[in-house]
Structure 1
Amino acid sequence: VPVWSDKKRLTEEKLALGFYLSGHLFDSYAPEVRQFIKTTLAKLEPSRDLRLICGIITAVRTQMTQRGKLMIVTLDDSTAVVEITVYS
């Protein structure tokens, strides 16, 4: 049996255990991403200003409201997990 890639191994860990055991999916992208986006999700402060953030999308929910469709996206960067509301 061929050895699983890091991405496959971490995906299967998350599926079987509900969390990453031997690492995090974002870790392989973090060095490149942190050159452009310095703020981690753990250091994110509530604000109405535009923020540039990044992470792995772990869940997406769609809801219909009186104003239209919105999506609630769960974003994970290995420092924190946040839910972000995306309006149409």
Structure 2
Amino acid sequence: MKKNRAAMIAALKGLHPKIAAQLQIDIAAAVGDAAKAKVLFRGMFERSQNNVQKGRFAQALAAKIEDEELPITVPGYIADAINHVAGT
């Protein structure tokens, strides 16, 4: 999910450039997708102070994906849930 992480960091840079810069370093040091995902999540939402607001981040991420046509991969379980709700 490297593409998704790149899109998330790009969106985070607009909201919190210092947090994004440190997270890029921390993510690069982590080994494996699961570890990198954990570093990203904890670095944004489980900080000792100044957590990134999930709603603001989600809006920034959606805008970044749409405006810059960033490539992302939608996890299968999310696609399945949307298809189920939409009746497709």
TM-score with structure 1 setting the length: 0.22
The higher-RCO structure (CA 8 Å, 6+ apart) is 2
- Largest Rg, 1 or 2: 1
TM-score with structure 2 setting the length: 0.22
Query: 1 or 2, which has the higher strand percentage?
Result: 1
